[in-house]
Amino acid sequence: MKRLYLDSCILIAYYSTHKEEREKKKEVKRILDIFENLQIECSTSHWAIAEMINILLSRHKIRNETVLKFESELLNKSRLGNLKIGIVEIEGKNKKYDIKEFFMD
């Protein structure tokens, strides 16, 4: 099975209500449907989720409550739409990660 990491730009486009993201949002939803049908194993990380939260709040001016709802849904359901995703755990200093190892995991 192929594995794919979903970076923050995918999460931002998926959750954003900003007009600049409309076309990206459509494309992301279409691609996620393809991934689901191809049974591609997708994952993201707390790093990407934190960056998504920051951008949605600061640049896209989405209300705190709304962004927290997005985060909660993502973490609790582990889904983007119908696509099940994994959340890669970050060990930080305990695992002495570098970015290369993170993506290998």
Number of folded domains that form the chain: 1
Instruction: List, for residues 25-56, the tens digit of each pLDDT value.
Output: 999 999 999 998 887 899 999 889 999 999 99
What per-residue confidence (pLDDT) applies to 39? 79
If pLDDT is split at 50, 70 and 90, which confidence band does 3 have?
confident
Domain range for residue 24? 3-104
Max Cα-Cα span within the chain: 41
Report helix angle 8-15 to 46-58, nearest 10: 50
Instruction: List, for residues 68-94, the tens digit of each pLDDT value.
Output: 999 999 999 999 988 899 998 766 555
String of DSSP letters for the chain: --EEE--HHHHHHHH---GGGHHHHHHHHHHHHHHHHHT-EEEEEHHHHHHHHHHHHHTS---HHHHHHHHHHHHHH-EETTEEEEEE---GGGTT--HHHHHH-
Burial label, 20 (beta-carbon count in 10 A; 0-12, 13-18, 19+): exposed
